[in-house]
C-alpha cells in the first residue's frame, strides 16, 4: 500500500482498511499512544510519537494501515505499522510488521484480520519477498491470527526461529 492510496475495503467484511497519508499522522499517532498506554509504558512521549509517525510517512520508511468499521464515518480503531528494508538474501525488500493494535472497544469485529490481510497484500504489491514480525509466546490471540495467514516460527531446517535483542540505555 502506498500512503494516500485511499480506501481499500476488506473483501466481504464491510470493514475499511487504508494506507494513512501524512495528513492522518495524528490519527495514527493517537492509536499508537493508546497502544503504548495499553502496554503500560510511558515512553515515547505523545509529541515524539506524533513527530516520528509524520517523519516515517514523509520519508517513505513505513506504511501505516488504518482500519475502521463498516460505517463510512467510523473513525479508525486499528493501526498496523509496516517498515521496509532491502535484504541481500532475497534480493528484494523485507517487510517488518512492527506493530498491530486494535482499540479494546473494537476487538472481535475482524479489524486485526483485515489489517494483517492488508499488510500481506500491500507487501506483495510492493515486491517484498517476506514479512517478519514478533509477538510474545503467551499472546494466543495474536499467534492464532498470524498462523491463519501462514506465519510460522519454523526455520527452513526445522529449527525454531528466534528474535533476539540487545537494548541500549536511552540517552538524553
Dump the DSSP string for 28-79: HHHHHHHHHHHTT---S-HHHHHHHHHHHHHHTSEEEEEEE-SSTTPPP-EE
The rounded percent of the chain whose pLDDT value lies above 90 is: 70
pLDDT digits (tens, 9 = 90+) for 28-76: 999 999 999 999 999 999 999 999 999 999 998 799 999 999 877 889 9
- Let me know if 57 is exposed, middle or buried by CB neighbors in 10 A (0-12, 13-18, 19+): buried
Would you state the pLDDT for residue 154?
Answer: 87
Tell me what the pLDDT averaged over the chain comes to. 88
- Let me know if 43 is exposed, middle or buried by CB neighbors in 10 A (0-12, 13-18, 19+): exposed
Distance of CA 86 to the CA centre of its chain: 18
- Per DSSP, what are the bridge partners of residue 101? 79
Would you state the pLDDT for residue 31?
Answer: 97
Residues of the chain with pLDDT under 50: 1-7, 9
Would you state the pLDDT for residue 156?
Answer: 83
- Ordered by where they begin, the domains of the chain are 6-148 (3.40.630.30)
Would you state the pLDDT for residue 13?
Answer: 67
> Using CA atoms, how far apart are residues 90 and 103, in angstroms rounded to an integer?
35
Amino acid at each position: 500500500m502506498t500512503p494516500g492510496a485511499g480506501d481499500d475495503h476488506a473483501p466481504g467484511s464491510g470493514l475499511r482498511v487504508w494506507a494513512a497519508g501524512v495528513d492522518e499522522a495524528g490519527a495514527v499517532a493517537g492509536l499508537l499512544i493508546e497502544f503504548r498506554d495499553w502496554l503500560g509504558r510511558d515512553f515515547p512521549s505523545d509529541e515524539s510519537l506524533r513527530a516520528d509517525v509524520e517523519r516515517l510517512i514523509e520519508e517513505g520508511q513505513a506504511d501505516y494501515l488504518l482500519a475502521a468499521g463498516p460505517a463510512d464515518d467510523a473513525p479508525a480503531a486499528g493501526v498496523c505499522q509496516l517498515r521496509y528494508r532491502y535484504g541481500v538474501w532475497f534480493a528484494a525488500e523485507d517487510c517488518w510488521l512492527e506493530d498491530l493494535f486494535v482499540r479494546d472497544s473494537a476487538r472481535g469485529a475482524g479489524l486485526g484480520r483485515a489489517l494483517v490481510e492488508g499488510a500481506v497484500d500491500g507487501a506483495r504489491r510492493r515486491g517484498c519477498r517476506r514479512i517478519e514480525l514478533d509477538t510474545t509466546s503467551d499472546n494466543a490471540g495474536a499467534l492464532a491470527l498470524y498462523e491463519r495467514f501462514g506465519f510460522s516460527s519454523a526455520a527452513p531446517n526445522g529449527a525454531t526461529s528466534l528474535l533476539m535483542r540487545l537494548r541500549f540505555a536511552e540517552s538524553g
